[in-house]
């Protein structure tokens, strides 16, 4: 769907979202969940009933300390950038790492499901332009296409996702990939442009050794440590 992004009402919507992103990005990561949640929702749900904000203040990171909680607001590490935010929906149990850029539009939905992990420096672009130069020089309209990212999707660092695609539940996108077409559920896709390289429904179980899990920072710092031993040997 084409739309004149330069018109005053579209520009005003972007300005509002820019201000909301700036407030969110100025919020320290260790701020109370109520503050982080409210400022995040100001980006993607500006017209909400703010009386409900207290119930939405359970952020994804809080569920690590109390698994009985149900996450209502994703844990997003700043900086985080969105163009409009008006038709973006992100599952509360999703994690988004630093420097994610969402170039959404007001003419198409963008949906990110539950329990997704989105790596740093990812770009999700649902806006495009006419291919022919003479068309771009005419009405100068932008074009918006929907993007759907299912539940339990892991997107590696520096991935670019283009408009009009769906990434199915449980899919894995390798770091540095560019998604230009639909990715089926429970598959791994890598490359530029990305292509499916593995069916995860047939992947061997136990590829992650959870028996070797450490449960505290002290344990983590001691696990496989070689630095002090090398210094002692020297």
Structure-token pair, residue 69: 């909680």
Single out the residue of 7, 25, 118 nearest to residue 78, CA to CA. 25
- Mark 101-140 as b/e (b = at least 16 C-beta within 10 Å): ebbbbbbbebebbbbbebbebbbbbbbeebeeeeeeeeee
Strand 88-90, strand 178-179: pairing: unpaired
DSSP 79: P
- Alpha-carbon distances, residue 221 vs 61, 205, 218, 224 (angstroms): 22, 28, 5, 8
Residues carrying an active site annotation:
129
Please state the φ and ψ torsions of residue 109, each to the nearest 5 degrees.
-75, 145
Question: Over the Cα atoms of the chain, what is R_g?
Answer: 20
């Amino acid at each position: 769907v084409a739309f004149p992004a330069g018109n005053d009402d579209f520009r005003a919507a972007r300005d509002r979202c820019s201000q909301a992103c700036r407030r969110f990005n100025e919020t320290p990561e260790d701020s109370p969940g109520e503050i982080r949640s409210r400022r995040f929702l100001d980006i993607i749900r500006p017209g909400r009933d703010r009386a409900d904000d207290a119930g939405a203040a359970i952020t994804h990171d809080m569920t690590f300390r109390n698994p009985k909680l149900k996450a209502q607001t994703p844990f997003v590490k700043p900086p985080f950038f969105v163009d409009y935010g008006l038709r973006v929906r992100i599952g509360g149990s999703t994690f988004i790492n630093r420097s994610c850029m969402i170039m959404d539009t007001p003419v198409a939905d963008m949906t990110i499901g539950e329990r997704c992990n989105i790596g740093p420096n990812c770009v999700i672009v649902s806006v495009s332009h006419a291919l022919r130069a003479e068309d771009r020089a005419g009405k100068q309209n932008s074009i918006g296409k929907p993007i759907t990212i299912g539940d339990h999707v892991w997107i590696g660092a520096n991935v670019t996702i283009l408009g009009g695609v769906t990434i199915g539940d449980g899919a894995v996108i390798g770091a540095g990939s560019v998604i230009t077409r639909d990715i089926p559920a429970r598959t791994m896709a890598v490359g530029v442009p990305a292509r499916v390289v593995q069916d995860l429904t047939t992947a061997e179980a136990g590829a992650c050794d959870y028996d070797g899990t450490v449960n505290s920072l002290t344990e983590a710092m001691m696990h496989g440590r070689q630095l002090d031993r090398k210094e002692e040997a020297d």
